[in-house]
Amino acid sequence: MKTDNSIIEIDRLCSINPKTVQIPSHIDEKTLFDFVNFTRSVLERVEGEMVFFDISKIHSVVLCSVAQLLHKIEEAASPIGLPDIHHICRQSVCMLNDCNRVPVETLRSVKNWLWQVTEHIVSLGNDKHLT
């Protein structure tokens, strides 16, 4: 039941247009783009782990690994004031920690939403070396 509530909340969060995520004005450009680069590298690792959902019998190990990766993004988002990113990662980690089944589509939605947010941040900065 707790997992179902997390999935419902994650679905709600993923329905937020990534272009409407508020970026606090107090974040300097270097910090913001360091966050984007960090998040993208973690999301690439999440994608790599998700490949194992289809071929692995050891789902609990994969779930734990993905939870740890999303927790890293959560921890990075909080101190610089990105509550939407923090919240969706927190809900995802809770879901993965409580999960008895593999919510692959939900995880893909989270990963895609986070990636779209990083694209939005890059477009705001129009920084050509972050593509």
Residue 129 has pLDDT above 60, yes or no: no
Do 85 and 117 meet the contact criterion of CB atoms below 8 Å apart? Answer: yes
Compute the distance between CA of residue 69 and CA of residue 55 in angstroms, rounded to an integer: 20
pLDDT of residue 127: 43
CA 75/CA 1 separation, integer angstroms = 26
15-41: average pLDDT: 92
Q: Which amino acid would we find at residue 14? A: C
Question: Is the pLDDT higher at 3 or at 79?
Answer: 79
CATH classification at residue 43? 1.20.120
**Number of structural domains found in the chain:** 1
> Residue 18: inside a domain, yes or no?
no
pLDDT score of 4 more than 90: no
The domain of 44 spans: 2-11+28-125
Residue 77 has pLDDT above 50, yes or no: yes
Q: Is this structure's pTM higher than 0.75?
A: yes
Q: Is the pLDDT of residue 2 over 80?
A: no
Tell whether 58 is covered by a domain: yes
Q: Residue 29: which residues within 8 A CB-CB, separation 6 or more?
A: 125, 127
81 in a structural domain? yes
Residue 67 lies in a domain: yes
25-47: average pLDDT: 93
> What digits encode the pLDDT tens for the residues 39-72?
999 999 999 888 777 665 557 778 888 999 999 9
Q: Is 130 within a domain?
A: no
